Chains A and B, each alone.
Chain A
Amino acid sequence: MITDAELRALLLDCLRLWERPETVIAEAGGLRVGDCIIRRAQAPLRWVLASAARTRAVPSVVALLSALRSALGVEPGTRART
């Protein structure tokens, strides 16, 4: 299982990739990114992303990154083409 420290490092990389000014702050309730809070969720889900606008539960870190990207107002990413 990915640790909070590992998730924080990954999120910081994403913020740099998305050229966002936010940072990641560890709080008692989870990891805060701007107005969003990321918490662990019960199986079969893994994460909950809560923002002022909505709360979403997601099943994977890949889905979490997509949801955070959207919540921060970053334009949608590129869909892989094969």
Chain B
Amino acid sequence: MIRFLNQFGKYFLLLGKVFSKPEKTIIYYKQTMSEMVYLGFNSVGIITIISFFMGAVITLQTAYNTENPIYPTYLIGLGCRDSIILEFSSTITALILAGKVGSNIASEIGTMRITEQIDALEMMGINSATYLILPKIIATLIFNPLLTLISIIVGIVGGGIAGTLSGVITLEDFIYGIQYAFIPYYITYSMIKTLFFAFIITTVSAFQGYFVTGGSLEVGRASTRAVVYSSVLILLFNVILTQLLLS
């Protein structure tokens, strides 16, 4: 318990250090742009592939589990849309990014720590926490909602293609279903969740990397911890945010 409180305190102290005034704004702007490419744009491929197949499977499972003459088939499209918007695109995308981006951040910062690159930054009079972590936070807060939007669109397209190719629904019914009783707030809800998840992934992973001591083995462990802790926190905050935003 004491260890947990100690880590909790260290995490918030690190956040305090991260959100201090940057030394030179232009450098941080450039850094943020390159992190957006590195952490965000480079994740578009994997998010697209996973979302496409996720949408396809959701459509097929909804179709096979609701096979009943009473239910109109356009409900398959509606089910696919709501599942993707409300849950899959924000949470599953976040879990994937926790694995890809989280481990990347923890190992990058951890390696910089054990090779004294962070000490070198501090020696130059640079706030290493702000320099290394703030651009990553800003980049993921800007880019992850875009990734979620891409995931929603590709997921629904994937569902439509899988549904029509397998013959479980016609394209007209699917399109009618995804337009039926649409609640725009669901998109807002999904975006709010994404912002929270992006913050969790970046800060928890950076925290794990920043305080690494030892060698490459510890960097590997920190990277694993970053993924595990981020994933657990994402699932926990998913419940809390769902209750707060949809009740």
Chain A partners chain B: no
Interface residues of B (CB under 8 A from A): none
Interface residues of A (CB under 8 A from B): none
